[in-house]
Amino acid sequence: MANAQTSLDKAKIKFLLLEGVHQSAVESLNRAGYTNVDYVKTALAEEELIERIKDAHFVGLRSRTQLTRRVIEHAPKLVAAGCFCIGTNQVDLDAAQEHGVAVFNAPFSNTRSVAELVIAEAILLLRGIPAKNAGCHRGEWDKSAVGSYEIRGKTMGIVGYGSIGSQVSVMAEAMGMQVVFFDVVTKLPLGNAVQSKSLTELLQVADVVSLHVPELEATKNLIGENELAAMKPQSFLLNASRGTVVDIDALAAALESKHLAGAAIDVFPVEPKGNNEEFVSPLRRFDNVILTPHIGGSTMEAQENIGYEVAEKLIKYSDNGTTTSSVNFPEVALPAHREVHRLLHVHQNVPGVMTAINRIFSENNINIAGQYLQTKESVGYVVIDVDSAYSDLALKQLREVEGTVRCRVLF
Ligand SMILES: NC(=O)c1ccc[n+]([C@@H]2O[C@H](COP(=O)([O-])OP(=O)(O)OC[C@H]3O[C@@H](n4cnc5c(N)ncnc54)[C@H](O)[C@@H]3O)[C@@H](O)[C@H]2O)c1
Ligand SMILES: O=C(O)[C@H](O)COP(=O)(O)O
C-alpha cells in the first residue's frame, strides 16, 4: 500500500514538516516516494506559517505550532495535518473539519516516556532531592533525613486514567505505592488501583497528585486555589499534561505557604516560543519544585516512533484514502484499489448530498466497484471505486455537487 500511486505526481505533493520532527518521518515519506519535504527545525509564527503552508498538501507539527482557523483558510491545498505528539489542542479541529483537513496524531508513542518521568519525579520529590541538589550547587551541605521519605506505602493520586495515567498506575504499584484515580469516565482499574468518586476525594488522600487530562474547556484550572487547599498538607503536585490545567499563581501561593511540600511541572500556561526565549514563571524561585521545559514525551525512543507512526498515517491517507484513527474526520479503513480509480469526496454532512452523488453514477451509467461512507459531526467522507475510464467524468461532476468540501482521485 505504501507505494501505491496517487493521481498527482508524488514529487509534487508537498509535505511541510515543522518543529524538527524526527528524521524517521522524512525517511518514511521518502521510502513511500514522497520526496518534496520542506523540513523546518522550529515552530513558525502565524504570518510565516501562512507563507510556508500555502502550497503544502500535508503539514506535520508538534505542540508548539498553532494551526489556527486563519492558517487553515490560507492553506487551500492542505488535505491533512499530522500532530507528531499526543495533544491536538494546538489545531483548530473544527476549522480543519470544515475545510476537509483530516488531523492525525500519535496517541501512544510517547506515553511510556511521560510515565517514567512522573515516577522518577515522585521519588525525587519525596526524598527532597530538588532542594538538596540546588543547595549542593550553591556549596551547601545539608546531610539530613528530615523531610525525606520513600515512595513505598504512599498514595499516588492520578487524575485522568488514560494511556499515560494508567501506565503511571502500574509503575507506581510496582514501586509499592497505593493508587487512587479520578476520571470522568468509569475505567477498568489496573492492579489494585481504586477509582475515586470525586476529584476532592482523591485530593484529600493522595500524597502525590499527578495530572494526565487533556486540554479542554472543562480541564481549564482544574487545579485551582480550592483544589490545592483540599490536597493533603505536605503533599506534592505533578503536572505533565497541559499548562492550562493548573492555576499557576495559586500553586505558587500553596508552595509559599508550605501547604504543599513540592511540585514537578513540565507544562505551563505560557511557554517560550522557542529555545532562545527566556522562561518566565512564578515557580522559578522554589528549590523544591522540579521545572522541565515540556519534555515529558521528549525521548529519542518516543520521537523516533512518533515519526514513523504519524508519517505512516499521512502516507496511508495520501496513497489510499484510509483515515483510521483521525481525531476529527470520519474513520474509513480501505482495501487497496487495484485496477480501479478511487474517488475521495469530502462533503458537508447535510441531507441530499449522497443522493446527488449517487445520481451522477446512475445517470452516467458508471458502475460502482466499491463504496465506503462514514460521517462525523458536520462532515461526510465517501470513497467510491470506479472503472478507470470514468473517473475523469465522475470527478468533474462530483466537484459540482452542492455541499462538496473537496474531492480528489487516486489511481
Ligand atoms: N508533557 C508532555 O510532553 C506530554 C506528552 C504526552 C501527552 N501529554 C498530555 O497528556 C495528556 C494525557 O495523555 P493521555 O495519552 O493519557 O490521554 P488519554 O486521552 O489517553 O487520557 C486522558 C484521560 O483523561 C480523562 N479526562 C478527561 N477530562 C477529565 C476531567 N475533567 N477529569 C478527569 N479526567 C478527565 C479522560 O477520560 C481520559 O481517560 C494529553 O492530552 C497531552 O495533553 C503531555
Ligand atoms: O502532546 C504531546 O504529546 C506532548 O505535549 C509533547 O509535545 P511535543 O512533541 O511538542 O514535545
Q: How far is CA 283 from the centre of its chain?
A: 26
Please tell me which residue in 57, 212, 242, 347 is annotated as part of the active site. 242
pLDDT, residue 411, reads 87
Strand ranges, E, within 65-218: 80-83, 102-104, 155-159, 178-182, 194-195, 208-211
Note the helical H segments in 198-259. Answer: 199-205, 225-230, 248-256
- Structure confidence by residue, pLDDT tens digits, 198-225: 999 999 999 999 999 999 999 999 999 9
- State the ligand closest to the CA atom of 210: 1
The dihedral over CA atoms of 221, 85, 37, 322, expressed in degrees to the nearest 10, equals: -110
* 111-291 is a CATH 3.40.50.720 domain: yes
Ligand 2: atom nearest CA of 267 is: 5
C-alpha span between 329 and 102 (Å, rounded): 5
By most ligand atoms within 8 Å of CB, the mutation choice from 18, 84, 110 for ligand 2 is: 110
Ligand 2: atom nearest CA of 62 is: 10
- The response to whether residue 161 sits with its C-beta less than 6 Å from ligand 1 reads yes
Q: Are 20 and 44 in contact (CB under 8 A)?
A: no
- The response to whether residue 164 sits with its C-beta less than 6 Å from ligand 1 reads yes
- Multiple choice CATH, 1-105+299-329, 3.30.1490.20, 3.40.50.720, 3.40.50.300, 3.40.50.150: 3.40.50.720
Ligand 2 centre distance from Cα of residue 78 (Å): 22
* ipTM of the shown complex: 0.99
Examine the residue annotation and report whether 271 is marked as an active-site residue of this protein: yes
Q: Are 179 and 195 in contact (CB under 8 A)?
A: no
pLDDT, residue 4, reads 47
Cell of 88: 491536538
pLDDT, residue 86, reads 96
Please list the residue range(s) of the chain that carry CATH number 3.30.70.260.
330-410
CB proximity list for 191: less than 8 A, separation 6 or greater: 169, 170, 173, 179
Ligand 1 centre distance from Cα of residue 187 (Å): 14
Ligand 2: atom nearest CA of 64 is: 10
- Regions of the chain with pLDDT less than 50: 1-4
* Phi-psi label, residue 7: left if phi above 0, alpha if psi -120 to 50, beta otherwise: alpha
Ligand 2 centre distance from Cα of residue 97 (Å): 22
Q: How far is CA 402 from the centre of its chain?
A: 33
Examine the residue annotation and report whether 137 is marked as an active-site residue of this protein: no
CA distances from 281 to 58, 245, 272, 292 (A): 35, 15, 10, 12
- Residue carrying C-alpha cell 475523469: 392
Please list the residue range(s) of the chain that carry CATH number 3.40.50.720.
1-105+299-329, 111-291
Ligand 2 centre distance from Cα of residue 303 (Å): 10
Examine the residue annotation and report whether 294 is marked as an active-site residue of this protein: yes
pLDDT, residue 5, reads 52
Three-state secondary structure call for residue 182: strand
- Multiple choice CATH, 330-410, 3.30.505.10, 3.30.70.260, 3.40.50.300, 3.20.20.10: 3.30.70.260
pLDDT, residue 8, reads 81
C-alpha span between 47 and 51 (Å, rounded): 6
Q: Are 107 and 163 in contact (CB under 8 A)?
A: yes
